[in-house]
Chain A
Amino acid sequence: MIRCENLSKTFRRARVLDGINLDIALGERIALIGSNGAGKTTLIRCLLGEYIHDGTVTIDGRSPRTERTAVLGNIGFVPQLPPPLKMPVGQLIEFSAALSGADPSHIDAIAGRLGLDVSDIRARPFIKLSGGMKQKLLIAIALGRDAKLLIMDEPAANLDPAARKIFFDLLAERQQSATMLISSHRIDEVASLVNRVIEMDMGKVVLDDKVADDVSLSGRFTCRLVSRRIDPALAKTLGTWKFVADASGLVWSGDVAGPDRLRFIGMLSRYVALIGDLSLHEVVE
C-alpha cells in the first residue's frame, strides 16, 4: 500500500531522511518510533505530500504530491499538536467532511463515543477547547471517513484511560480495512497496538521488525490492587483509570484496556512501594 524508495529529505544542509526504503501492506499496524529529530514527522509529511523530497513515495501506486486529492481522500491524519484554529468546531467538522466526502453526523457519532458531545461545543472556537477535547475531535475527524490509511502522531497522548479504551475499540473496528501508522517517541505507548515496529534514528530506519500480534485491540483486563496504606496521589491516579475502592479504601478494582496494560503497569511503577498485591486477568468474551 505504501512504498518508499530511496526517500531522502534535506533541509539546507541537514539530511533529515536518508535513503528510506519501506513497503507497507494493507492491514499492517505500524509503530513508528524514534527519539526527537529521528525523522518521524518528516516521513509523515512526505507521506502526506507536504514535503518535496528525493526518491519516490507512492500510496496505492499514486504520488501523494501530484495526485493529492485522490491520495489524501483515503488518509485520516491525527497530528501530534492540534492546530490553533479559530473556526468553530461545527465548521471544522463540516469543512473536513465536505472535502473528504464524509458524513458529518458520523464524525459527531465517533466523537460521542469518545465522550465528546459535539452539540455542546459546535459553536465554540476549536482553539478554546481543552487538549483532550481537541485530540478527541481530531481523532473523530480522522476516523469519521472511510480512510484506508490512518496516520496518527501520538494520538492517545492527551486522552484519559476511558477515552483511550474507546479509541482502541475504534481502531479494532478498522483493523482489517485500514493500514495504521502510529508515531511515538516511546515504544511502550504504542507497542500493544501494533504488529510491526519501525524505529528511526538520524533519518534512517534502524529497526524494522514484526511483533507478536496476540494483543486484541478490543481486549480487556480486570485488575485488583491492594494498597499498603491510603495514599491520596495513588487514589487520584487510580480514579483517572475509573478504578473504585472498597470501604476500607485499600482494595481497588477496575478494568484496563488490553492495549493499555503496559501503560497501566508503567503508571503503577511510580507507586510500587505502596502496592501489596496486584492481579490482572484477561476477560474472555
Chain B
Amino acid sequence: MKQLWLTARLDIVESLRARWFLIYTAVFGGIVALLFLFGLTESRVLGFIGLSRLLVTYIQLTMAILPIFVLITTVRSVAGDREAGVFEYLLSLPVSLGAWFWGKILGRYIVVFAPVFLAMLAAVFIALIKEIEVPWGMFGYYTALLATMALCFLGLGMLISSIARSTDMAQGAAFMTWLVLLLFLDLILLGVMIQGRIAPEIAVGIALANPLQVFRTAALALFDPQLIVLGPAAYVILDTFGVLGYKIFALAYPSALGLLAAGLGYFIFRRGDLP
C-alpha cells in the first residue's frame, strides 16, 4: 500500500509540472469562466435554465474534450516515459509491478478528475454567491458521470500504453480509438439505419457499447428525454431501461469497461518487457 501511494504521489508531482496539465486545467477552468461570462445561466435552451443550463453545456463540452485529452496525455506520458528511460530507472527500485501500475493509475486519475470536478465546483460556488439556485441532484450525478468518464478513458489509455511499444504508435492508437467511438455516436448510427444498412437492434447495441454515447445519453436523457434531442438509439435504450436503470447503467458500464481495460493493461504490462 505504501509503494502504491508513493508511486501515485510521484505521478501526481510529475503531472503537476507537465505542460499538458496546465493546458488541461486552463481549458476546463476557462470553459466555466466563459460560460458565466456569456451569461449562459440567464439563457433558456431545451428547457434548461440557470445553473442547470450551464452544467448541461459544461458536461457536453467535457464529453467532447475529456476523452481525447485523457487518452492522448496518458499514452504520451506512459509510453514517453518508457521510451525516455524513466521506466528503466524507476523500475530498478524495489517497487512491485502491481503497486507501480495501479499507483500510476491512481495518481493520473486524481490529476485527470480534479480539474474537471473543481471547475464544476467553482461554478456551483459562483452560483451560490450570485444566488442562483443550484440543482444539487444534477450536480451530484454529473460529478459521478465525470468520475466514471475519467476512469473509463484512463483505463483505455493505460491499456493502449501497455500494448504500444512507442509513443507514436500509442498516440495513433489512442486517436483511432477516440475516432471509432465518435463515429459510432447515435446521430451517425441514425444515418446508417436510414440507409437500411444495419438492423435497429444492432444500432442500439452499438450505442449501448459505446461509452461516449452512454455518457451523452445519460447527460441529456435524464433531463430532456425527447427523441429529437436524444437520437433514436438512445431513445429506445432509455425507454427500455427506464431513467433509474439507465442512470445506474451509465455509471456501472463505463466504470467496468475502464477497470477491465486497466486490468488487461496490467496483465500485458507484467508479462512483457518493462522499459
Contact = CB atoms under 8 A, between A and B. Distances in A.
Interface of A: 45, 48-52, 68-73, 75, 77, 79, 81-88, 91, 95-96, 98-100, 125, 138, 151
A255 B87 CA distance: 39
A79 B90 CA distance: 10
Contact of A83 (B6, B84, B97): B84
Nearest to B13: A87
Interface stretch (B25-33, B123-131, B267-275): B267-275
Contacts of B245: none
B88 A45 contact: yes
B90 A83 contact: yes
Given A83-B84, A98-B6, A99-B6, A48 B13 contact: no
Interface in B72-127: 84-97
Contacts of A77: 89, 92
A79 B3 contact: no
B256 interface: no
Given A81-B85, A91-B10, A48 B91 contact: yes
A72 B93 contact: yes
A84 B93 CA distance: 16
Contacts of A87: 10, 13-14, 17
B84 A84 contact: yes
A75 B87 CA distance: 16
B275 A68 contact: no
Nearest to B274: A50
A82 B18 CA distance: 18
B96 A69 contact: yes
B95 A85 contact: no
Given A50-B87, A72-B93, A84-B84, 9 more contacts: A48-B91, A50-B92, A72-B92, A72-B95, A79-B88, A82-B89, A87-B17, A95-B93, A138-B89
A85 B86 contact: yes
A84 B167 CA distance: 15
Nearest to B10: A95
